[in-house]
């Protein structure tokens, strides 16, 4: 007998029919002899609807009251799912974040889980009940309701799996697993049967949008075996774990990230400490910088370019334009860019990876603006209009069509 | 400086505009130098919408999960009202039932308040915050969310007022106070400036639908001064308290209750204990019996008739039809009936009250089916089609039009 944690996102419980479908998956797992804890998000567009209601009243509500408002969404979905499970004849109980013991810090709107008091969760599981837990929420030391921020339900599920040493944490989504590229756009995309935490982290960061990044970090830290699979089609998904068995493919996937902007600082004085001053100023405003490129100095000035997420672009430009250290340097911002990446732990032992990628882009007549590499990733920045073509071309180079 | 508890029902917070209107009333009270605790219900049709969602999934959900579902309604309204108060620039905090210290028994769906732990409420008030509390909900000893049943938000407000010795508890509704009859139906209806708890209890029981009955009982027990007033029009309402100053009118009002059914048991054996056996059987199923009428015995049988609320009619018939004690007696149920009552503490010293009422009904050619009296009330059961005419006729007899 195993303890299995299952997580279902908002689209999986969007209406009565889908709630019943989830109840079927959960009760089948339970009837097969497993203990089951289920984590659910708010139904479909509930969160957006609640935000719209708030905006009608106050454009800048406090985050504390916003958390109070938004956490009602999961409350509705856990109650409905519990009723669906009752209907299928299995013992069940729903628990809110605070009832399930989720203690967080008090950063309303994007709280971090500090600890799970597992007493009640364990009690209910021991009573042979299916436990349905509200994802995305907890309480802070002031006994206030907090939310974990976007994708927080994944973290809730993984944290429960870690705290209770669950045998597996299944993340149900509307895709069948992790693919070598977006299957809706690249015809030859293949589903991966296994992937390592580090590879998954690179893919999540790069916009694969399958798993929330923080949840993968927690899974890696506590060695929780994850499975990403479909709530609509019963089939094996992709297992995420520490070490995977060697597969023939050494590249795990090709991704596109359009949430990126390039900031260029042109003609900054070529003296020591400039880069430090620029990036510490951005860091102080919580702006994460991704790819950085610095030109070789010409005369007494040089150029520095870097990428940030698109929603940080305006703020970055503002911070730099009002920065006396930069003197008369010109600040430019380009949002018509996209980042294309190949990810794979096998890359280290395959020196030709970058060359293969660049050749594919050259063959498709696509210009590379910036390059960044890590041990398991190569990213390039290109014009956003070329992005989908670039993914197809690079994917074809690494995963030749079997004909 | 006073502590004032204000309660707003679902229709008072039904949309963004009304929420802002409530925020204005609350902040005006606060800015006048008072401490303010606000209790709100779920917005407009929220509760009905949530019930509909549940019914789509499970026609007979457990009451525990129903409470989990329904309590999300007040969570939304307290957050929105708090945001509206923030917008008007006053310090505010919203609290769920459990955060406000509402401890109830574990009768899910119609829980009773056992105790309020006032620590947090007091702390927030001492910080000079307006406190917005979710009505209708609490937690039981199992740390489960409970709801208080229909009209429970009134009880929440009065219980807070009692626990914190508030100077006044204002119940805002869509009427301007308590009237001598339904002002939408009786043109001559007058607003009362004061009324006693006992009179209010009779009026609430009789379907005046202004104040929840249990809330009046709590107010009477802890001597909380209530005021019923309009959330839409700023004007004095009706004060409910222990003793009112003598007024010229000794009748407080004329009410109609259509939520009533008459059950008749015809031809039951005329032996001792029959009535006891019938009514204890109904009591065991939590069915409240109102008016009881027993015919004088003819030959060896007699007839017993009584009234119950309409939703208990079917169940009552079922219980009696399968009851061997009744032998071959015939059970009849009539739901086309209504109860008309006059209420007033001055009635005791006015012996002609019943006569005046019966004369008015006779003058309107309305047949009386059953009669029941208490020290401050006279009720008659009549055909439901005559109900509105009966209220007008009786009201005119006690409150003659000033011309």
User: What is the complex's ipTM, to 2 decimals?
Assistant: 0.80
Pick among B57, B78, B108 to test the A interface (most A CBs inside 10 A): B57
The beta-carbon neighbor of A75 closest among B56, B72, B94 is B72
A273 or A71, greater pLDDT: A71
- A91 Cβ neighbours under 8 A, 6+ residues apart: A127, A128, A129, A130
The mean-pLDDT minimum among A125-129, A275-279, B66-70 falls in A275-279
The tokens of B329 are what?
A: 């007696």
- Please give the average per-residue pLDDT across A212-241, as a whole number: 91
Please state, for a pLDDT cut of 70, what percent of chain A lies above it.
Answer: 95
CA–CA dist B120, A87 (Å, integer): 39
The pLDDT score that the predictor gives to residue A251 is 83
- Please give the average per-residue pLDDT across B82-94, as a whole number: 98
The beta-carbon neighbor of B79 closest among A68, A80, A120 is A68
CA–CA dist A217, B161 (Å, integer): 49
Give the distance from residue A154's alpha carbon to the nearest chain B alpha carbon, in angstroms.
22
The tokens of B378 are what?
A: 């006279």
User: Mean pLDDT score of chain B, rounded to an integer?
Assistant: 90
pTM of the complete model: 0.81
CA A287 to chain CA mean position, Å: 18
The mean-pLDDT minimum among A378-387, B121-130, B270-279 falls in B270-279
Question: Is the predicted pLDDT of residue A148 greater than 60, yes or no?
Answer: yes
Q: Phi and psi dihedrals of B294, rounded to 5?
A: -125, 130
The beta-carbon neighbor of A65 closest among B62, B83, B96 is B83
User: Mean pLDDT score of chain A, rounded to an integer?
Assistant: 90
Q: Which residue has 């709107």 as its token pair?
A: A109
Give the distance from residue A278's alpha carbon to the nearest chain B alpha carbon, in angstroms.
37
Give the distance from residue A185's alpha carbon to the nearest chain B alpha carbon, in angstroms.
36
Please name the residue of chain A whose CA is at the shortest distance from the CA of residue B143: A99
Task: Answer left, alpha or beta for residue A134, where phi above 0 means left and psi between -120 and 50 means alpha.
Answer: beta
pLDDT band at B402 (very low <50, low <70, confident <90, very high): low
- A198 Cβ neighbours under 8 A, 6+ residues apart: A220, A345, A376
Contact assessment for residue B173 and residue B231, using Cβ atoms and an 8 Å cutoff = yes
DSSP string over A184-221:
TT-TT--B-SEEEHHHHHHHHHTT--SS-HHHHHHHHH
B58 touches chain A (CB under 8 A): yes
CA–CA dist A22, A152 (Å, integer): 19
A84 touches chain B (CB under 8 A): yes
CB contacts of B61 in chain A (<8 Å) are 83, 86
The tokens of B351 are what?
A: 């012996």
pLDDT band at A119 (very low <50, low <70, confident <90, very high): very high
Element of type H or E holding B157:
helix B152-163
The tokens of B170 are what?
A: 């204002």
The tokens of A315 are what?
A: 């703020």
The mean-pLDDT minimum among B16-30, B89-103, B121-135, B263-277 falls in B263-277
Please name the residue of chain B whose CA is at the shortest distance from the CA of residue A18: B57
Task: Answer left, alpha or beta for residue B299, where phi above 0 means left and psi between -120 and 50 means alpha.
Answer: left
Write out pLDDT tens, residues B166-225.
999 999 988 888 888 888 888 888 888 889 998 888 887 766 677 888 899 999 999 999
DSSP string over A273-284:
THHHHHHHHHHH
Question: Is the predicted pLDDT of residue B243 greater than 80, yes or no?
Answer: no
CB contacts of B83 in chain A (<8 Å) are 54, 57-58, 61-62, 65-66, 69
pLDDT band at B403 (very low <50, low <70, confident <90, very high): very low
Cα dist. B231→A305, B11, B25 in Å?
A: 59, 10, 8
Question: Is the predicted pLDDT of residue A298 greater than 70, yes or no?
Answer: no
Question: Is the predicted pLDDT of residue B163 greater than 90, yes or no?
Answer: yes
Please name the residue of chain A whose CA is at the shortest distance from the CA of residue B54: A80
Domain boundaries defined on chain A: 3-173
The pLDDT score that the predictor gives to residue B331 is 92
CB contact under 8 A, B79 and A54: yes
Q: B216: which DSSP letter?
A: H
**Angle CA B110–B113–B118, to nearest 5:** 145
CA–CA dist B151, B214 (Å, integer): 9
- A85 Cβ neighbours under 8 A, 6+ residues apart: A23, A26, A27, A92, A130, A132
CB contact under 8 A, A54 and B19: no
pLDDT band at B325 (very low <50, low <70, confident <90, very high): confident
In the sheet that holds A337-343, the strands lie side by side as A253-257, A337-343, A377-383, A370-374
The pLDDT score that the predictor gives to residue B132 is 98
CB contact under 8 A, A65 and B94: yes
Question: Is the predicted pLDDT of residue A403 greater than 50, yes or no?
Answer: no
Which H, E and C letters describe A374-401, residue by residue? Answer: ECCEEEEEEEHHHHHHHHHHHHHHHCCC
Question: Is the predicted pLDDT of residue A248 greater than 60, yes or no?
Answer: no
Answer yes or no: CATH 3.20.20.80 is held by domain A3-173: no
CA–CA dist A240, A345 (Å, integer): 13
Question: Is the predicted pLDDT of residue B248 greater than 60, yes or no?
Answer: no
The beta-carbon neighbor of B57 closest among A50, A64, A80 is A80
What's the farthest any 2 CA atoms get from each other in chain B?
A: 78
Contact assessment for residue B11 and residue B43, using Cβ atoms and an 8 Å cutoff = no
The mean-pLDDT minimum among A57-61, A90-94, B281-285 falls in B281-285
pLDDT band at A245 (very low <50, low <70, confident <90, very high): low
B57 touches chain A (CB under 8 A): yes
Write out pLDDT tens, residues B25-34.
999 999 999 9
B359 touches chain A (CB under 8 A): no
The pLDDT score that the predictor gives to residue A297 is 63
B145 touches chain A (CB under 8 A): yes
């Amino acid at each position: 007998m195993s303890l299995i944690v299952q997580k279902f996102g908002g689209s999986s419980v969007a209406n009565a029919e889908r709630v019943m479908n989830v109840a079927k998956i959960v009760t089948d797992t339970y009837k097969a002899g497993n203990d089951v804890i289920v984590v659910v998000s708010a139904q479909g567009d509930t969160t957006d609807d609640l935000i719209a209601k708030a905006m009608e009243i106050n454009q800048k509500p406090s985050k504390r009251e916003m958390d109070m408002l938004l956490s009602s969404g999961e409350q509705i979905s856990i109650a409905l799912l519990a009723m669906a499970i009752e209907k299928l004849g299995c013992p069940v109980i729903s628990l809110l974040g605070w009832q399930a013991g989720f203690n967080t810090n008090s950063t309303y709107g994007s709280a971090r889980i500090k600890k799970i008091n597992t007493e009640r969760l364990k009690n209910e599981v021991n009573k042979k009940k299916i436990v349905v837990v509200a994802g995305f929420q907890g309480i802070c030391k002031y006994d206030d309701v907090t939310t974990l921020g976007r994708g927080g339900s994944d973290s809730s599920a993984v944290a429960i799996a870690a705290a209770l040493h669950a045998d597996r944490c299944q993340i149900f989504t509307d895709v069948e697993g992790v693919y070598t590229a977006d299957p809706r756009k690249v015809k030859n995309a293949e589903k991966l049967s296994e992937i390592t935490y580090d590879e998954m982290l690179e893919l999540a960061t790069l916009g694969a949008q399958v798993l929330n990044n923080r949840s993968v970090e927690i899974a890696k830290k506590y060695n929780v075996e994850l499975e990403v699979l479909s709530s609509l089609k019963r089939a094996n998904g992709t297992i995420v774990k520490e070490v995977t068995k060697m597969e023939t493919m050494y590249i795990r996937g090709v991704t596109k990230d359009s949430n990126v902007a390039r900031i260029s600082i042109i003609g900054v004085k070529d003296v020591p400490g400039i880069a430090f001053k620029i990036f510490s100023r951005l860091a102080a405003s919580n702006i994460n910088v991704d790819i950085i490129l610095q030109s070789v100095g010409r005369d007494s000035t040089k150029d520095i370019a870097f990428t940030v997420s698109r929603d940080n672009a305006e703020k970055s430009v503002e911070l730099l334009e009002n920065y006396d250290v930069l003197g008369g340097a010109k600040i430019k911002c380009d949002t018509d860019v996209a980042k294309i990446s190949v990810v794979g732990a096998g890359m280290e032992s395959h020196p030709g990876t970058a060359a293969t990628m660049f050749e594919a882009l050259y063959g498709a007549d696509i210009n590379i603006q910036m390059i960044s590499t890590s041990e398991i990733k190569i990213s390039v920045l290109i014009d956003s209009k070329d992005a989908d073509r670039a993914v197809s071309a690079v994917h074809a180079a690494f995963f030749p069509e079997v004909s």
